[in-house]
Structure 1
Amino acid sequence: MTSPVTKNLSPSTLRRIDLNIKPFVQSNDGIAAWQLANTILPLIAFCVAIAKLTEELTLASIILTPIVFIFIILFLSRSFSLMHDCGHHSLFRSKTSNRIAAFLLSIVHAMPHHPWSRGHAFHHKHNGNWNRYRGPSALTTLREYDKKSKNSKLIYRILRHPLTLLPGGFYYLVIKPRVALLLGLFELISKALADGWSNLVAGRTFRPKVFIANHKSSFFYTKEEVYDTVANTICVSIAWWLIGSAIGYWHFWILYTLVMSVSAAIMIAVFFIQHNFPGSYASGEDNWSYFKGAVDGSSFLILPPILNWFTADIAYHHVHHLSERIPNYSLRMCHEDNKSKFDGVKRLHLNQFWECFSLILWDNESFKLVSAKR
């Protein structure tokens, strides 16, 4: 007799209750600490190595620099995946440990973690509901696209071309958080001046603490996001200054720009294809299902074992969306335990990546992702 755990179910009849998930929602501090160590320590070593190799042009530097560069990108991918787990409070057992680890890893990636994790949580909450969440590229609908002018259509396609991920990735990680911080500061000062003037005219006392407590920023949702961005920016700036002083600022910024641009582009690309693929679940507000968004709106990337290690098994994305509290080191085990139930999950191979990048429009009438070339 077939047990409920191993019996085959068609995708249309699969329910969350049919899946064995609870045993895998357990964090292990020992494994988490070891993952941080086997990621950050080699990353530091490779960064030191590339700085030494690029001091002068030699045969050894020409041969070894590309190899070291690739390893830096791979370890940064793993580092980002671990930071991502911290945002879901799944890497370590305690919320405090996850917050501390996330902040330290956010310095490595120059991206404040708290604002990013809030936005990522929104994605998890609405995955597959394209009325609420249009993906990392902010896709428009097919009808909206058809109404655009020829030039607007061209700009739309260019901005969503894979090659724009290189400058776009650097902007996303390094520049955008600082722009938001500066704009938020200017907004705070201008509103404070306006409020102070109106109080002066009315004969009232301007209370800075009250004003700040009631201020609603257009660039941050919570004050904790502001504090996290300020702290991250201070730490990252100190790191830039120290490393630049040690190896030379031009030397540092050339290497840093290349490394961060490529690593960010890869991370965004992997995230994109995990939800933008042929046949992906693309619902509107009505009849949207969180469960379908997880199983039918998340892909299973078939990667070589070495790439699975460097991406911390994020390829098992359908499992991750079923429960974000499953730590990366348990994703594969959860998949294997429920393997017969996941026959309907979309399998993606490396040679299918380009096809995914063509899906840059949402047809909200046929409820599917489509290409601009029709």
Structure 2
Amino acid sequence: MRTAKELLVASKEFASENRWVSWWHLWSTLVVLAAFVALAVNDLPWTIRILASTAAGLVSVRLFIIYHDYQHHAILRTAPLAKLIMWGYGIFLLNPSSVWIRSHDHHHKNNSKTFGANIGSYPVMTTQAYANATFGERFAYAAARHPLTMLLGYFTVFLIGMCLRPFLLSPRRHYDAGLAMVVHFSAMAYLASFGLDVMVLGLLYPSMVASALGAYLFYAQHNYPDARLKPRSEWSHVEAALHSSSYIAMNPLMNWLTGNIGYHHVHHLNARIPFYRLPEAMAALEELQSPGVTTLGLRGILSCLRLKLWSPEEDRFVGFDHPDAVGGPTTLPVEETRPVQNPTSNKRAA
């Protein structure tokens, strides 16, 4: 087995794109998305329109992963046209580049540390920290990790977390967050001029489908039964990739729709690997073939959603009913008394 440094070096073999393949994935995804939106807004039977609108939302997740890879400089990094398309995508669908880059880069550098600012991540409290938290802190923490927060990710994660809050905190730095809201809701108003159904099925509902699935995927990528968290002194990039980032097993269709983001442990090892090469990298590198696994089946989803707190004593995620979480106050290390932050908090980024 390779050392951590050797594994990082070995992963670089896959951190190169085929420019034509990257363009193919981008253009083909845009065409498929446009086709489903066209079906959703046309005068067709309602069943077809609703199914097409749902499909548009799912394909939007794939487009988001392409955007995500571009922001990681994994694909199309020197292509001016791609820069324009990706910037426009971020503005149109509430993913402004200035906010996304800062929050997501912080996430990659700090994922799975037991303490620290939860910028770009769902918050994590230890059982003892939760036991000593105020009612308000407990409520805010529980709300941030609640399934409804994920289901309503269009509002909670993207509209508020990615746009409204960053813009209010720093209008000059995050001007594109304000622009995103203006463009997005202007597009809604324009579509509504053709009929409320056109606006809902052409933009609002697909955005809500994509946001809900994306919010849950991001949760399950780092909050799953086998996840391991470490304090700052013991944290390492490679260990966080191998033991704190999941592999979400999916069928070929879902892998296509989600841009292979289920191979998340591979992505966290080397974010420069294009999404279409992640399966290749996992197959070639033995160290990546024994990840923590979850699924998008009901059992897999429920097993992840039940995880609420980190137990340092048991070295695993546990529920709110854990004895250490409901016990009386104890003396905590100073860093454990930090305030709970919203999963989309961008105060440091702003």
TM-score tier after normalising by the smaller chain length: 0.7 to 0.9
> How is 1:151-230 mapped onto 2 (pairs within 5 angstroms)?
153=138, 156-180=141-165, 183=168, 218-219=169-170, 223=172, 225-230=173-178
> How is 1:347-358 mapped onto 2 (pairs within 5 angstroms)?
347-350=293-296, 351-358=299-306
> How is 1:203-282 mapped onto 2 (pairs within 5 angstroms)?
218-219=169-170, 223=172, 225-245=173-193, 247-249=194-196, 251-253=198-200, 256-282=203-229
TM-score (norm 2): 0.81
> Retained in 2: the 8 A contact 1:25–1:325?
yes
Residue of structure 2 equivalent to 1:17: 6
C-alpha displacement at 1:328, in angstroms? 0.7
In structure 1, distance between residues paired with 2:225 and 2:188: 42
Q: Deviations over 1:303-359 (max 9, x none)?
A: 001110111111111111111111111111111111x32243112223312111121
- Residues 112 and 151 of structure 1: is their aligned pair in 2 closer, same or farther, counting only changes over 3 Å? closer
C-alpha displacement at 1:92, in angstroms? 0.9
> Retained in 2: the 8 A contact 1:165–1:268?
yes
C-alpha displacement at 1:99, in angstroms? 3.5
Q: Deviations over 1:132-175 (max 9, x none)?
A: 35473222221121124668646643442213322343232234
> Retained in 1: the 8 A contact 2:71–2:101?
yes
Residue of structure 1 equivalent to 2:260: 313
> Retained in 1: the 8 A contact 2:127–2:309?
yes
- Of 29, 38, 44, 2:34 maps to 44
TM-score (norm 1): 0.76
> Retained in 1: the 8 A contact 2:310–2:316?
yes
Equivalent residues, number: 318
SS of equivalent to 2:223: coil
SS of equivalent to 1:348: strand
- Residues 230 and 143 of structure 1: is their aligned pair in 2 closer, same or farther, counting only changes over 3 Å? same
- Residues 100 and 156 of structure 1: is their aligned pair in 2 closer, same or farther, counting only changes over 3 Å? same
Task: In structure 2, give the amino acid aligned to 1:368.
Answer: R
Task: In structure 2, give the amino acid aligned to 1:268.
Answer: A
> Retained in 1: the 8 A contact 2:41–2:197?
no
Residue of structure 1 equivalent to 2:291: 345
In structure 2, distance between residues paired with 1:317 and 1:178: 25
> Retained in 2: the 8 A contact 1:170–1:257?
no
Residue of structure 1 equivalent to 2:129: 144
Residue of structure 2 equivalent to 1:33: 23
Q: Deviations over 1:85-132 (max 9, x none)?
A: 111011214175553332122134222122112100111011221213
SS of equivalent to 1:21: helix
Task: In structure 1, give the amino acid aligned to 2:122.
Answer: S
Residue of structure 2 equivalent to 1:283: 230
Task: In structure 2, give the amino acid aligned to 1:226.
Answer: H
SS of equivalent to 1:291: helix
Residue of structure 2 equivalent to 1:296: 243
Higher alpha-carbon Rg: 1
What are structure 1's unaligned runs of at least 5 residues?
Answer: 1-8, 55-59, 184-217
SS of equivalent to 2:42: helix
Task: In structure 2, give the amino acid aligned to 1:270.
Answer: L
C-alpha displacement at 1:243, in angstroms? 2.3
Residue of structure 1 equivalent to 2:316: 368
Task: In structure 2, give the amino acid aligned to 1:28.
Answer: N
Structural RMSD (CA): 2.7
What are structure 2's unaligned runs of at least 5 residues?
Answer: 323-350
SS of equivalent to 1:336: helix
Q: Deviations over 1:270-321 (max 9, x none)?
A: 1111111112120011111111001111111110011101111111111111
In structure 1, distance between residues paired with 2:167 and 2:255: 38
Percent identical residues: 26
In structure 1, distance between residues paired with 2:131 and 2:249: 35
> Retained in 1: the 8 A contact 2:92–2:180?
no
Q: Deviations over 1:171-230 (max 9, x none)?
A: 3223444533663xxxxxxxxxxxxxxxxxxxxxxxxxxxxxxxxxx447xx5x424324
Residue of structure 1 equivalent to 2:111: 127
> Retained in 1: the 8 A contact 2:33–2:60?
yes
C-alpha displacement at 1:79, in angstroms? 0.9
